[in-house]
């Protein structure tokens, strides 16, 4: 058995089976026994080598509503695919909503039908339909300013909507861009270049038995004020 362990390592265990029947049989006299190598079941780690704890919260019930009370931190803790989805969805909905508001103003004032009249002053010049209203919003929100579409002073409701658009755009930009910036600045992938020893040992250190393992940094840059926290599970 020791020779088999030296040959195959600790990933396999030796079991004794009976050739006369299926399954594992207790060893006894008069039985034809055979030895087989069976792969060991790998136990799931409590803490991964990247520092993430494999603990899932269950049976929360109505406590999930607490995550919405701190929406910013909840968005930061989401996975990247959900962050990008919420990022794109929020901007798309906000753009379509504001473009619809400019189209509604042009429609209620009759600018869509009178835009080509020479002596008529519309609320927004050169806005004939919803695509042109959407382009006007993008040009003003992104501060592009081509000069072809512009708001006039004959439209007080347009001035109020323009102020609301500026405030709403600043809030959305601060919330989403701040969330993405904080998420990118988190050093979660820094652990990918940290190597841990495959095995830990117990040895005498300063007259006491001490659990020891090694940690190596693959990068040339030094880690300042690095701290290591360990969790010991005692069965």
Instruction: Name the E strands within 153-233.
Output: 194-196, 201-205, 208-212, 215-217
For the ranges 73-77, 161-165, 218-222, the maximum mean pLDDT occurs at 161-165
Instruction: Check residues 38 and 143 and name the one with the higher pLDDT.
Output: 143
Count up the domains in the chain and report the number: 1
Statement: residue 105 has pLDDT above 50: yes
Query: Is 111:89 a contact under the CB 8 Å cutoff?
Result: no
Q: Alpha-carbon distance 84 to 101, whole Å?
A: 26
pLDDT at position 164 is 93
User: For position 101, what pLDDT does the model report?
Assistant: 93
Q: Is the pLDDT of residue 35 over 70?
A: no
Query: How many CA within 13 A on the CB side of residue 134?
Result: 9
Q: Are 32 and 21 in contact (CB under 8 A)?
A: no
The pLDDT score that the predictor gives to residue 59 is 63
Parent domain of 165: 67-185
Residue 103 lies in a domain: yes
Please tell me the distance from the alpha carbon of residue 129 to that of residue 132, in angstroms, as a whole number.
Answer: 6
Task: Using the predicted structure, report yes or no on whether residue 148 has a pLDDT greater than 90.
Answer: no
Residue 226 domain flag? no
Chain mean position to CA 12: 37
pTM of the model: 0.58
Instruction: Give the pLDDT mean for 205-234.
Output: 83
124 part of a folded domain: yes
219 three-state secondary structure = coil
From residue 214, give the alpha-carbon distance in Å to each of 77, 171, 200, 201: 30, 47, 8, 10
First to last CA, the chain: 27
Q: Work out the mean pLDDT of the chain and round it to a whole number.
A: 77
Structure confidence at residue 217 (pLDDT)? 84
Task: List the CATH number of the domain containing 148.
Answer: 1.10.287.70
Residue 62 lies in a domain: no
Domain membership flag for residue 198: no
Q: Report if residue 104 sits inside a domain.
A: yes
pLDDT, residue 93, reads 93
Q: Model confidence at 103, in pLDDT bands (50, 70, 90)? A: very high
The answer to whether position 82 is within a domain reads yes
**pLDDT classification of 54: cutoffs 50, 70, 90:** confident
Question: What residues contact residue 215 under an 8 Å CB cut-off, 6+ apart?
Answer: 194, 195, 196, 197, 228
pLDDT at 73: 84
Residue-wise pLDDT tens digits, 158-217: 889 999 999 999 999 998 888 888 888 776 667 778 888 888 899 998 889 998 888 888
The answer as to whether 44 is a domain residue is: no
Q: What is the average pLDDT across 59-79?
A: 74
Q: Rounded CA gap, 196 and 200, in Å?
A: 9
């Amino acid at each position: 058995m020791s020779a088999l362990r030296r040959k195959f390592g600790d990933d396999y265990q030796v079991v004794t089976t009976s050739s006369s029947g299926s399954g594992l049989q207790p060893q006894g006299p008069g039985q034809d026994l055979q030895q087989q190598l069976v792969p060991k079941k790998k136990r799931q780690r409590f803490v991964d080598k990247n520092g993430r704890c494999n603990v899932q919260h269950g049976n929360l019930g109505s406590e999930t509503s607490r995550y919405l009370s701190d929406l910013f931190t909840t968005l930061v803790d989401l996975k990247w695919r959900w962050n990008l989805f919420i990022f794109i969805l929020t901007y798309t909905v906000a753009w379509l909503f504001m473009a619809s508001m400019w189209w509604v103003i042009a429609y209620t004032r009759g600018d869509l039908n009178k835009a080509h009249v020479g002596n008529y002053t519309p609320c927004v010049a050169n806005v004939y339909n919803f695509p042109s209203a959407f382009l006007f919003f993008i040009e003003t929100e992104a501060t592009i300013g081509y000069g072809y579409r512009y708001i006039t002073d004959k439209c007080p409701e347009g001035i109020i909507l323009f102020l609301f658009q500026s405030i709403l755009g600043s809030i959305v930009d601060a919330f989403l861009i701040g969330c993405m910036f904080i998420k990118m600045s988190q050093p979660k992938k820094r652990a990918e270049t940290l190597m841990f020893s495959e095995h830990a040992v117990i040895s005498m250190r300063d007259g006491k038995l001490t659990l020891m393992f090694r940690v190596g940094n693959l990068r040339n840059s030094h880690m300042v004020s690095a701290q290591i926290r360990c969790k010991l599970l005692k069965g």
